[in-house]
Each structure stands twice: as C-alpha cells, then as structure tokens.
Amino acid sequence: MKRKDWLELLRLVGNINRSLDLQDVLRAILEEIREVTASEAGSVFLLDEEKGELQFYTVSGGAESTLQAYRIPLEKGVVGYVARTGEAVILNDPHQDPRFLRDLEKQTGYTTRNLMAIPLIHKGRRIGVAEVLNHREGPYTAEDLEVFRALGEMAAVAIQNARLYADLERLFRESLRALVAAIDARDPYTAGHSERVAQYALWMGEELSLSREEQHQLELAALFHDIGKISIPDAVLLKAGRLSEEEYHLIQSHPERGVEILRHIRQFEPILPAVRHHHERWDGQGYPDGLAGEEIPLFARIIAYVDTYDALTTDRPYRRGFSPERALQILQENAGTQLDPGLLPVFRRVFPRMAGEDDA
C-alpha cells in the first residue's frame, strides 16, 4: 500500500471515531471509503439477523452527499453473496455477473460500471458488507481491494462501538425511567409526573435552541427533580389532611435529598444544581436557598414552569386539576413573582403542545 493511502487510513480512523452516533459514524465511513478508493459511490450494508435482511446506507454524488437507507433481502445480489460467504468480490463488468442485482440499480437510479464489496467482520462475526462503485481510474485492482479491506476492518470496529454505545445509552435511559416511574407511582396523584415534566422541559429546551448535550441534561434533571421524595415516608407524602410544620419541612427537604442521592453518580453532576433549586422562586421566597432572579440556574427556572404546570393540571386529593388554559393563566399571574418572566414567552410557545392542541 502506498504511503499516502496509509496516511489516509490514519486520518479516517480519526474521522470515523469522532462521533459515537451510528448515523454520523456511517456517514464518515462512507465518505472516507469513497475518497480513499477513488470511487463515485459507497454503501454500507448492516446485517439484521432477525429479519434476514441487510439495511443499506449509501452516499453518492459530490460535496452535498446524502445518507439514504434501504433494505434488501440477504439472499440477493453481490452484497448478499458477500454477506453469506464472507468472500470479498471485485466485479469490473458487473452486468455480466449473475449475482449482480439490477433491481437495486433501478431503485437507486444509479448505473454501475464496476464495484468492490467486502465483508465487515468484527471479532469473527459478520456484521455487514461495504461496497464501493465506479472507480474513477479504470477497473478496480487487487491493491484497491487491499486498501478497502483495511478500511473495512476499522469501519467494523467503529460501527460496533457506536452500536454498543447506543445499547448502553438505551439501557441507561430505560432503567432511569423505570426507577422514576416506580417512585411517582407511590402517589396516585403524581403518577407519570416526572415523565411529563421531562417531556415538557425538553420542549422548552428545544424552543430555547439549547445544544443537544444541554437538552439531554435538562431532560435528565427534569426526570429526577423529585427523586428526593423517595426517602419521605408514605405517611407524610400521601397524607390527605393538613401537614404539621415538621411534616411540611420534611417534604420541603426533597430537593436536597435528591442531590444527596444523585451526587454519588458522576454522570449526574451537571444536573445537581437544577434538582436542588427547582423550588426556588424568582422573588427569592423559595427554598432551599432563597436564591432570586438569575442566581437560580436556568434549568431550575425552566423546570419550575413545567413542574408547576403539571401540578396544576393534574387532580389532587383536595381539588380537580385545572384546565390547561386556566393553568396557563395562573402561570402568567406568577411570572415575575414565582417564575422567571423572561421564560414566559418560551412557555407560551410550547404550551399548545403541552395542552395537546398541537395534534392536527
């Protein structure tokens, strides 16, 4: 392999490992293999073992490449052959080869002059196929195939990493949701509260154009804002009658208790301030620290809106839930005292979605 090709490969490894998002990884892989093998188009086919299909991602064309996804049955075509046998293939006259799948050409509107296809193998397991089409400099050679194979090995690792990460991330989120749902369910009046507050907060985060990372943190903070209630006894938490002063203080300790629980997990560090301060008030009359105005972390000010909205619109032992419109009115009256008036327009824009008026 030429020195230039190895340098390309090194650059590729950097590029495809920059993100852990599968779509981003595939896009980076496809762009790199197209360039390094001097091909017009590149495709990655990921094996879906359950369905016996290959999920097909392709990038073609110039600077403005688009990632498209198709599905093809495993028994079909050159890539099907490569996926089944694990053999690499070079076809410099594909239309003469019985394995060549003309249907796909019709589907993609792409004419194939020549192609190379290799299996993507990770730890001995076939995870898919990579293919490049239409060499810019005549037929594909054995040396081109060697470069392509080296790329394929790294691509397989990057794809598997992205998949593992996605699985972990899903497991993490689902476990958290199950935990929070179990806590909310102790009190029939708050069932689903945290989940709704998380969804509403996320909508506000989107409206505020927060970064993806910030949106993720805001959602987590909202999901966990009341987790401190886990250590408050049912006799107090579910008490229907008037609370004694002591009981009242106990309930008011839930933000601090929440931080106490979450601070042991490193990933939660960024959300601790939002959990601690979600009952602060804009005018400084809230708890636990009596912070006022912009001293209160932004995420806590956002959660204050959607937390109050959800509390108002759900039934309580002592009253029926308010209508969304009435709740909005109450929040408007409290902007500037309890709530950050600067966030009111944001809340109003998201309100139709919360009220379920946005379904049309």
Residue ranges in contact with Fe ion by CB under 5 A? 226, 307
Q: Do 274 and 224 touch, CB atoms closer than 8 A?
A: no
Cα–Cα distance, 347 to 218 (Å, whole number): 15
Q: For residue 272, give the nearest of 293, 254, 256 by alpha carbon.
A: 256
Cβ count within 10 A of residue 156: 23
In angstroms, what is the minimal distance from the CB of 277 to Fe ion? 11
Say if residue 151 is exposed, middle or buried (CB neighbours under 10 Å; 0-12, 13-18, 19+).
buried
In angstroms, what is the minimal distance from the CB of 214 to Fe ion? 21
Among residues 307 and 340, whose Cβ is nearest to Fe ion? 307
E strand or H helix at 44 = strand 39-48
Q: Do 114 and 144 touch, CB atoms closer than 8 A?
A: no
Amino acid (one-letter) located at 262:
L
Among residues 37 and 334, whose Cβ is nearest to Fe ion? 334
In angstroms, what is the minimal distance from the CB of 308 to Fe ion? 9
Among residues 129 and 303, whose Cβ is nearest to Fe ion? 303
In angstroms, what is the minimal distance from the CB of 310 to Fe ion? 7
Active site residues: 229
Among residues 133 and 227, whose Cβ is nearest to Fe ion? 227
Amino acid (one-letter) located at 238:
L
Among residues 192 and 293, whose Cβ is nearest to Fe ion? 192
Cα–Cα distance, 202 to 198 (Å, whole number): 6
In angstroms, what is the minimal distance from the CB of 28 to Fe ion? 41
Say if residue 303 is exposed, middle or buried (CB neighbours under 10 Å; 0-12, 13-18, 19+).
buried
The label of the residue with tokens 């106990």 reads 250
Cα–Cα distance, 284 to 281 (Å, whole number): 5
Cα–Cα distance, 283 to 158 (Å, whole number): 51
